């Protein structure tokens, strides 16, 4: 038996059965003493982190020591325990590779956004193949998108230069076009020594300073081809067989994760498109009033909505509201509610209470399990007068040179909560240059603050609008969003929709 500590021997005996293709067991037979029992027929080692345990032997294996050595003092002395060193070295390399792959895949599965996952694939692949730069071309074979190119160590201008190379001359282009011979990847160990290299490719490679590349397809049996990953070397080089095997295992797992994130991305984009299509494509132009709107939809699609509707007698109807829930059902309910409110506003818009009463009756009869908040305002731009009513909705905010205050509205329940809804309306007379801000409670919820602090933050943001921006409702809306929701929280994924509708009287 080899002179290996007992704990090491257990691991060797357990794991080496999976190494027949690595030549380790052959080495054991060669060096094992005659007459000793064969203890290497243990069960196969389990998979680690979803990675197949049949990893080739590490390239850094120690060469066998000579069988005997001569010294000046006497006859030949048997060499030290060469088989034990050989096995320990190979086992250490194998476990090291599995640990590396486990750590890289763990980092990958923690990414929740498609762009972040693509960057992680580039970084991990570069570490495995020994490259410094690279790019991922995402182009799903089903043609449904999204199509994008993300670089590692490459600026947008560098990616632009690469895109000027004819598609068929680039290895990732051949993979994306499904040309034969690219299924297992494409190696270009020395671009400038390669016969038939496209002149434009040669020029771009010299300009960007890379001399070799290694390209792998991103594809799964279920999702098909998703794209291709390319790693670039500064000098002529190519990954050795072991590096190719390891990066192949990693890319196989990474592509499955990318396919899942791609479906999530498509669902989010579809929900956002549905929500946007159910809202006005543009705001109307009305004499005496300027309008601006900002709408942010959550990743699952929400029920916040707005409307601006020209009415008879040069009037204008403004509405904002929110339907409970999220997802396709909430988006569909929002569309039905908005369409119904438009009809009621045309018939009796000068009476906001009647409009909301009709809307409440419709909601209670057609969707008894759902509730909604809404605010409708009947605006007369020539008189700078607004008559409004709200059903469980946040109060409007009036922004002017001499005042910034919330409009006092009566306390009322949301639509669908009571057997019969009714609340008094409120009249407001604005001065020239003042802006009325209508918004949904998603603006307050995204702050993460208690309600009173969120209202205070909104008031402070409105009062702090610079004088130079007060003539432009678009600038006012942008300033308030950036101030109330700093650090990009107005764009980040959130379960809450946001609607901000600004109406400025001239």
Q: What is the mean pLDDT of residues 468-488?
A: 92
The answer as to whether 73 is a domain residue is no
Residues 287, 259, single domain; the answer is no
End-to-end CA distance of the chain: 96
Residues 58, 116, single domain; the answer is no
Please tell me the distance from the alpha carbon of residue 138 to that of residue 133, in angstroms, as a whole number: 17
Q: What's the distance, CA 425 to chain centroid? A: 44
The answer as to whether 390 is a domain residue is yes
State which of 324-338, 409-423, 455-469 shows the largest mean pLDDT: 455-469
Of 269, 290, 323, which one is at a domain's C-terminal end?
269
* Percent of the chain predicted with pLDDT > 70: 82
Beta bridge partners of 307: 319
Residues 259, 137, single domain; the answer is yes
pLDDT category at 197 given cuts 50, 70, 90 is very high
Copy the structure tokens of residue 276: 């946007």
Q: What is the mean pLDDT of residues 417-438?
A: 87
Angle between helices 241-277 and 82-109 (to 10 degrees): 10
Residue 182: which of 192, 190, 173, 194 has the closest Cα? 173
The answer as to whether 119 is a domain residue is yes
3-state SS class at 95: helix
* Percent of the chain predicted with pLDDT > 90: 55
Domain housing 222: 112-269
pLDDT category at 96 given cuts 50, 70, 90 is confident
Residues 157, 37, single domain; the answer is no
Please tell me the distance from the alpha carbon of residue 315 to that of residue 307, in angstroms, as a whole number: 14
pLDDT category at 7 given cuts 50, 70, 90 is very low
The answer as to whether 256 is a domain residue is yes
Residue 484 belongs to domain with CATH number = 3.60.40.10
**Per-residue pLDDT at 492:** 67
What is the domain count for the chain? Answer: 3
3-state SS class at 119: helix
Residues 470, 323, single domain; the answer is yes
3-state SS class at 427: strand
Q: b vs e for 403-434, b when ≥16 Cβ sit within 10 Å of the residue's Cβ?
A: ebeebebeebebbbbeeebebebbebebeeeb
**Per-residue pLDDT at 81:** 56
Rounded to two decimals, what is the model's pTM? Answer: 0.63
The answer as to whether 357 is a domain residue is yes
Q: What is the mean pLDDT of residues 286-293?
A: 94
Residues 201, 61, single domain; the answer is no
Helix and strand numbers (H, E) in the chain are: 13, 17
Of 269, 302, 323, which one is at a domain's C-terminal end?
269
54 or 428, which is more confident: 428
Residues 240, 157, single domain; the answer is yes
Residue 5 to residues 1, 9, 41, Cα–Cα distance (Å): 11, 6, 19
Residues 346, 391, single domain; the answer is yes
Please tell me the distance from the alpha carbon of residue 86 to that of residue 438, in angstroms, as a whole number: 75
Phi-psi region of 384 (alpha: psi -120 to 50; beta: other; left: phi over 0): left
Residues 185, 88, single domain; the answer is no
In the block, tokens 């993979």 appear at: 175
Sort 73 into a burial class: Cβ within 10 Å, 0-12 / 13-18 / 19+: exposed
Q: What's the distance, CA 145 to chain centroid? A: 14
The answer as to whether 71 is a domain residue is no
Residues 297, 225, single domain; the answer is no
pLDDT category at 73 given cuts 50, 70, 90 is very low
Residues 15, 161, single domain; the answer is no
Q: By the 8 A CB rule, do 57 and 19 touch?
A: yes
**Per-residue pLDDT at 86:** 80
Residue 239 belongs to domain with CATH number = 3.30.450.40
Copy the structure tokens of residue 262: 């791609």
pLDDT category at 280 given cuts 50, 70, 90 is confident
Average model confidence (pLDDT) across the chain: 82
Q: What is the mean pLDDT of residues 228-256?
A: 94
Residues 243, 293, single domain; the answer is no
The answer as to whether 498 is a domain residue is yes
Please tell me the distance from the alpha carbon of residue 74 to that of residue 72, in angstroms, as a whole number: 6
pLDDT at 82 over 90: no
The answer as to whether 72 is a domain residue is no
**Per-residue pLDDT at 67:** 44
């Amino acid at each position: 038996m080899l002179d290996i500590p007992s704990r090491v021997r257990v691991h060797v005996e357990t794991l080496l059965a999976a190494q027949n293709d690595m030549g380790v067991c052959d080495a054991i037979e060669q060096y094992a003493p005659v007459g000793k029992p064969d203890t290497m027929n243990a069960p196969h080692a389990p998979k680690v982190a979803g990675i197949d345990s049949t990893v080739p032997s590490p390239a850094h294996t120690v060469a066998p020591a000579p069988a005997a050595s001569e010294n000046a003092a006497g006859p030949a002395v048997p060499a030290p325990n060469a088989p034990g060193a050989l096995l320990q070295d190979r086992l250490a390399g194998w476990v090291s590779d599995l640990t590396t792959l486990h750590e890289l895949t763990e980092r990958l599965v923690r990414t929740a956004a498609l762009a972040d996952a693509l960057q992680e694939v580039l970084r991990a692949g570069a570490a495995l193949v020994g490259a410094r730069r690279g790019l991922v071309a995402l182009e799903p074979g089903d043609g449904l998108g999204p199509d994008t190119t993300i670089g590692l160590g490459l600026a947008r201008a560098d990616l632009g230069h690469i895109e000027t190379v004819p598609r068929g001359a680039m290895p990732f282009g051949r993979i994306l076009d499904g040309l034969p011979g690219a299924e297992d990847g494409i190696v270009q160990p020395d671009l400038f020594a390669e016969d038939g290299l496209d002149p434009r490719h040669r020029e771009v490679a010299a300009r960007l300073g890379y001399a070799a590349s290694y390209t792998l397809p991103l594809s799964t049996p279920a999702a098909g081809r998703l794209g291709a990953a390319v790693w670039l070397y500064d000098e002529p080089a190519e990954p050795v067989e072991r590096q190719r095997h390891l990066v192949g295992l990693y890319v196989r797992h990474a592509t499955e994760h990318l396919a899942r994130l791609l479906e999530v991305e498509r669902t989010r984009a579809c929900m956002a498109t549905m929500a946007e299509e159910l809202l006005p494509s543009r705001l109307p132009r009305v004499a005496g009033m300027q309008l601006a709107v900002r709408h942010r939809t959550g990743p699952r699609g929400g029920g916040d909505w707005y409307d601006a509707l020209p009415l008879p007698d040069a009037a204008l109807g403004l509405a904002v509201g929110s339907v409970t829930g999220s997802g396709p059902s909430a988006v569909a309910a929002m569309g039905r509610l908005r369409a119904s409110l438009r009809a009621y506003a045309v018939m009796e818009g000068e009476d906001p209470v009647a409009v909301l009463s009709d809307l409440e009756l419709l909601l209670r009869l057609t969707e008894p399990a759902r509730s909604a908040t809404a605010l409708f305002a009947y605006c007369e731009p020539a008189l700078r007068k607004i008559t409004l009513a709200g059903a469980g909705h946040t109060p409007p905010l009036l922004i002017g040179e001499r005042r910034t205050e919330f409009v006092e509205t009566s306390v009322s329940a949301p639509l669908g909560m009571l057997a019969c809804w009714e609340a008094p309306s409120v009249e407001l007379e604005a001065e020239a240059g003042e802006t009325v801000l209508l918004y949904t409670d998603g603006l307050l919820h995204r702050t993460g603050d208690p309600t009173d602090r969120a209202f205070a933050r909104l008031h402070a943001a409105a009062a702090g609008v610079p004088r130079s921006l007060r003539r432009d409702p678009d600038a006012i809306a942008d300033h308030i969003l950036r101030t109330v929701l700093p650090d990009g929280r107005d764009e980040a994924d959130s379960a809450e929709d946001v609607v901000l509708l600004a109406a400025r009287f001239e």
